[in-house]
Amino acid sequence: MRIEIWADVVCAWAYIGKRRLERALAGRDDVEVVWRPYRIDPTAPSPALPMDEALRDPLMDEALRACAPGLNPAENRVRISRVAAAEGLSPWQGARWRASSHDAHRLLALAYEHAGPERQDALAEGLMRACFAEGRDISDRAVLGAVARQAGFHEGPELLTTDAGELLVRELLLQGKARKVRTSPSFVVDNQALAGAQPSEVIGDFLAGVGPQPDVPDEVNRMRWAESLMEERDPLGALTLLRPLLAEFADDPGVRLLAARAYFGSAQLRRARTVLGPLVEQRPDDSYVRLLYGRTLQRLGLDALARPHLRLALAASD
């Protein structure tokens, strides 16, 4: 079984959730745990700001109140500290910096690729310990490098000086969005998810109820996720996930139509026209393809060319 933890390492509940998952998995050796990126604060700065200074920003205060309805930020920090202590996470300082977690997510993604899930998990532990127990700034590459070396991921610091992992993290964030991940942490097995740092018993029950995981080809998942991003009104994200399919399956009508929809949705009308023209010739009875082609031509200001396609699409729908 593979459990994906979609989480942000600057999220205290992710650290608490890690401990609770470990308790739920005690005695099991048939599970692979993989950390995936989620951003709870995408606008967090780098270099980081001291948290005391960041909390003086009314927008930051409002966001924190939204995370913990009914509690002010100070009350929420006390509550989290108590929960963390109960889970054995001691000492606990709490986050001392409002820090971008982008490079930390790059490091985690690269650790899984280069060193495997155990090293990645050790790195996740080290990053969250640095953030919450040691009060360190995990947007600082010197801090990240030290944590990586301590976790046994010795090539990590050098990789961070390049653009390694940039596209990978971007794609993973889009996958999380497509898979409706909305909470840090979220525990995902195949297409079944448990949101939040639930008690160990709840996590155990969730895992016990997960059925056999089908072996779905990557290209099928990419198509599903791209479709989901179109539903989320993120056509540029859909195109990012479709890029490998457009390179490998350029003649597949389904891939081309989904790409055309994404081009149209992102106002890349000339590209949409280039894809849709041959599709109309190959599928002359497909009213949707013809309608999309007609609308593309119309938005390009080519009304005379658009008119017959729109007329045929309308007639087919009657």
Pair 48, 100: CB distance under 8 Å = yes
The per-residue pLDDT for 213 is 75
Does 213 map to a domain?
no
Domain residues for 300? 218-317
In this predicted model, what pLDDT tens digit does every residue of 218-277 receive, in sequence order? Answer: 999 999 999 999 999 999 999 999 999 999 998 999 999 999 999 999 999 999 999 999
What's the pLDDT score for residue 65? 64
Is 61's pLDDT higher than 70? no
pLDDT at 63: 64
Domain endpoint, select from 208, 233, 257: 208
Domain final residue, candidates 147, 180, 208:
208
Are residues 132 and 222 located together in one domain of the fold? no
Domain boundary pick from 176, 208, 240: 208
In this structure, are 27 and 141 located in the same domain? yes
Q: What is the pLDDT of residue 46?
A: 85
Cα(105)–Cα(21) distance, rounded to whole angstroms?
A: 20
CB-based contact 235:261 (threshold 8 Å): yes
Distance CA 145, CA 136 (A): 13
What is the predicted pLDDT for the residue at 115?
A: 97
- Check whether residue 31 and residue 130 sit in a common domain: yes
Q: Are residues 61 and 161 in the same domain?
A: yes
Q: What is the DSSP letter of 290?
A: H
Inform me whether the pLDDT recorded for 318 exceeds 80.
Answer: no
The pTM assigned to this predicted structure is 0.92
Higher pLDDT, 71 or 141: 141
Mean pLDDT of the chain: 93
Residue 318 near residue 295, CB atoms below 8 Å: no
- pLDDT(77) > 90: no
Please tell me whether the peptide bond between 253 and the residue prior to it is cis, using omega within 30 degrees of 0: no
| 85 & 181 share domain | yes
